[in-house]
Amino acid sequence: MKGFRWLKPLLGCVLLLGSGALWAADGRAGFTSCIACHGSKGEGNTTLGAPAIAGQDAAYLQRQLQHFRAGRRGTHRSDTFGAQMRAAGATTLRDDAAVAAVAAYVAALPKTRQAAPAKGDLRNGNNLYHGKCGACHGGNAEGNPALNAPRLAGLDAGYLKRQFAYFRDGVRGADPKDVPGRQMAMMARTLPADRDLDDVIAFIHQQGRPK
C-alpha cells in the first residue's frame, strides 16, 4: 500500500472539486428565481427597480439577502422594491446554504459596465466622492470587501439615488444589527444637496464605463 500514498490527497482534491461543482450548480439553480427581475446575466432592470448584481462582492450579496430574510431590509412602508425582494427571497432562498450558493454564483458573473453615464459636474463629483465615499467604496467605486462596502460602478442612477435617499431618511440602515448600513446612513446625511448627489453619480458612472 506504500506505493499508493498519493491516492489519499488525490481523492481529497477530487472531492473538493466535486463539491465546488455542486455548489456552482446549486447557485445557478437558485439564481433562476432572480432572472425575471435582475436579468439572466445579472445586468439589472431599471424599469423594475432591480439593480445590476453581476460581479458584486459575494459577502455583500449574502449579507443583503440575509437582511431581506431577517426583516432588516425591505420592511419599511416606503421601500416598495425592497418588499418585493423580501417576498421573493422568502419563497426561494429558504436557508443559509441556498443564500451562500446564489451569492457566490452571482459574484462570479462578469461585471456589468455602465454604458450610458449620468450627466453632472465631474469635477465636483470627483471631489465629493473622494472626500466622502472613496475611503470605503474604493477610488474607482470598485468596492472594498474588507470594509463591507459594495461595488458602486455599474449601478444605474435611479437605484443609487433611491438607496442613498433610503439611507438618509431611515428607510434603510436603521436596524441595530445592520452595522455597515448604519454607517452608510450617517454618511448619507453629510452630502449637501441633491445636485451634489447627481455629480457623485456622474463620477461613479465614469468608473463603470466600458474600457
Ranking 24-28, 30-34, 51-55 by mean pLDDT, the lowest is: 24-28
pLDDT above 70 as % of the chain: 86
3-class SS of residue 110? coil
CA-to-CA distance for 127 and 91, rounded, in angstroms? 43
Which residues, including other chains, have CB under 8 Å from residue 195's CB and lie 6 or more apart?
none
**Cβ distance 191 to 197 under 8 Å?**
yes
pLDDT digits (tens, 9 = 90+) for 156-193: 999 999 999 999 999 999 999 999 999 999 999 999 88
Instruction: For residue 45, report the phi and psi dihedrals to the nearest 5 degrees.
Output: -150, 105
| Residue-level pLDDT at 153 | 95
- Please compute Rg for the chain using Cα positions: 19
CA-to-CA distance for 183 and 189, rounded, in angstroms? 11
**Does the pLDDT of residue 5 top 90, yes or no?**
no
| Residue-level pLDDT at 4 | 53
Cell of 163: 438607496
pLDDT digits (tens, 9 = 90+) for 35-61: 999 999 999 999 999 999 999 999 999
CA-to-CA distance for 131 and 149, rounded, in angstroms? 16
Cell of 84: 418585493
Give the chain's end-to-end CA distance (angstroms, integer): 56
- Average pLDDT of span 96-100: 92
Give 50's DSSP letter: B
- Average pLDDT of span 106-127: 90
Residue type, 26: D
| Residue-level pLDDT at 117 | 83
Mean pLDDT score across all residues of the chain = 88
Instruction: Give the global pTM.
Output: 0.86
Other Cβ atoms within 10 Å of 154 Cβ, number: 25
| Residue-level pLDDT at 2 | 53
Helix orientation angle between 80-92 and 58-70, rounded to the nearest 10 degrees: 90
**Cβ distance 137 to 145 under 8 Å?**
no
**Cβ distance 61 to 106 under 8 Å?**
yes
**Does the pLDDT of residue 16 top 60, yes or no?**
no
Q: Which domains does the chain have, with CATH numbers?
A: 20-111 (1.10.760.10), 113-211 (1.10.760.10)
101-to-26, 61, 65, 79 alpha-carbon distances in Å:
6, 11, 11, 26
- Average pLDDT of span 60-80: 95
| Residue-level pLDDT at 210 | 61
| Residue-level pLDDT at 11 | 41
